[in-house]
Amino acid sequence: MSVAAGEDVVISQSRSTYRWAQLFLGIVCMTMIANLQYGWTLFVGPLHTAFGWKPAAIQVAFTIFVVCETWLVPFEGYFEDLFGPRPLIAFGGLLVAVAWVLNSQVTSLSGLYIAQAIGGIGAGAIYGTCVGNAMKWFPDHRGLAAGLTAAGFGIGSALTIVPISNVIATHGYQSAFLYFGLGQGIAVCLCALLLRSPGKADAPEAPAHAAEETRRQYAPREILRTPLFWLLYAMFVMMAAGGLMATAQLAPIAKDFGVAKVPVSVLSFTLPALTFALALDRTLNGLTRPFFGWVSDRIGREHTMFLAFGVEGLAILALSKYGHTPGLFVLLSGLVFFGWGEIYSLFPATCTDAFGAKFATTNAGLLYTAKGTAALLVPLSSKLTEWTGSWHLVFWIAAGLNIATALLAIFVLRPLRRKYAVRPR
């Protein structure tokens, strides 16, 4: 091997190590904001007890958070495409800290709603930037990179479910909001100092076998004029609705099923069913993102969607029927989250495959607003339960949406995306 060739190998290895470091920093940032969404259900009961607010009114705050987290991501993504990830991540870290500090002090629903809006803006800046940056660094493993990054958001709260529950029980929900909010925000700001976008020589080319990737780079305004984008958007809404309902309502569902505080033992661990379910759900919700992202890099996005979405639909139906048994409640809720969490790797990867990597952060951000649209349905699930006296109708609707989306992936999305793959530059 010549000296020049040896130097090329060393440089290539150094670049590979650096991009994995960038991916790791993004995952850490996502882990730090996971509790803003996935830890929320722990605070619903304490807020209801403290102020007497109706659960449906409290869940409006969750909807506001998700709407602000998602609908502003395209604008934040635009700035990330221009200026890189560092300023957006630092901005987001500051806002998520402020949001939970405010949550610890609120005494009115309006104050809670304002704090959740601030947290949503901050979380969206972090989420959209980290996912977009990961796909830019890893065009050769786009599904896996998006999945690993999104896994931080899914699995991050699993590490803190028990600590937050303990702080709420011993010191009150205000202390949990305050201390975890400050810690999470500071950690994100520190990571922001080390993040950057790849240069032209940093990221490898997409693999030659990626035959279903577009041959041109679509600007954000262009994708809004394509039927493919709106099909992806509708599918995202259909899938996100059921998962967000489970995320926000799992504690009330467990209480209504009569299993929330029933001890469940697995191996040497014994925890109340709700606490066990939350920890398992968050873990599986995180693991599913890189797993199905990796699978989709090999068997295709649509085939993976059909498999995962179908699993979730069947798991929701099973949870509705058998969830009154504590052990099955834990197991089946975990399966629901395992079939749901991968939407946050499959949809951004599919979007970038279909419309190109140049505007990946902005374009994926436009698609990510579908999560905000789906969040508008979360309070409706509480209303449906009040009207019918049970969760069964909500479960059937969610399962139906999942199964319909699985079929759309194979029979509509796949042939339509192939048309875009062969269009000229």
Q: Which two tokens stand for residue 19?
A: 């991009």
User: Rounded to whole angstroms, what are the CA distances from 5 to 2, 14, 199, 328, 335?
Assistant: 5, 14, 22, 58, 49
Instruction: Tell me how many degrees the CA angle 45-46-49 measures, rounded to the nearest 5.
Output: 85
Q: Which pairs count as long-range contacts for 13-20, CB under 8 Å and 24+ apart, including other chains?
A: 15/201, 15/202, 18/202, 19/137, 19/138, 19/198, 19/202, 19/203
pTM over 0.75: yes
What is the reported pLDDT for 237? 94
Residue 205 CA to residue 196 CA, distance in Å, equals 19
Number of H helices, E strands in the chain: 19, 2
- The architecture of the domain spanning 10-197+215-421 is Up-down Bundle (1.20)
What is the reported pLDDT for 3? 40
Q: How many CB atoms lie within 10 A of CB 113?
A: 17
Residue 278 CA to residue 161 CA, distance in Å, equals 7
DSSP one-letter code for 40 = T
Residue 108 CA to residue 349 CA, distance in Å, equals 40
Burial class (CB in 10 A: 0-12, 13-18, 19+), 222: middle
Residue 289 CA to residue 144 CA, distance in Å, equals 8
342 φ, ψ to 5°?
-70, -10
3-state secondary structure of 202: coil
Q: How many CB atoms lie within 10 A of CB 258?
A: 12
Selection from 185, 188, 180, 183 nearest residue 164 by Cα: 180
Q: Which residues contact 152 (CB under 8 A, 6 or more apart)?
A: 26, 27, 28, 29, 30, 31, 34, 130, 286
Domain ranges of the chain: 10-197+215-421
Say if residues 157 and 282 touch (Cβ distance below 8 Å): yes
What is the reported pLDDT for 189? 97
DSSP one-letter code for 207 = P
What is the reported pLDDT for 209? 42
In 3-84, where does DSSP find H-type helix? 3-38, 41-51, 55-71, 73-83
Q: Which residues contact 149 (CB under 8 A, 6 or more apart)?
A: 23, 26, 27, 30, 130, 131, 134
DSSP one-letter code for 411 = I
- For the chain (425 residues), the mean pLDDT of every run of 10, in chain order, is 43 71 95 88 90 88 89 87 91 97 95 96 93 87 88 78 89 94 96 90 58 74 95 95 77 87 81 85 85 92 95 92 92 91 90 87 90 82 80 87 95 90 56
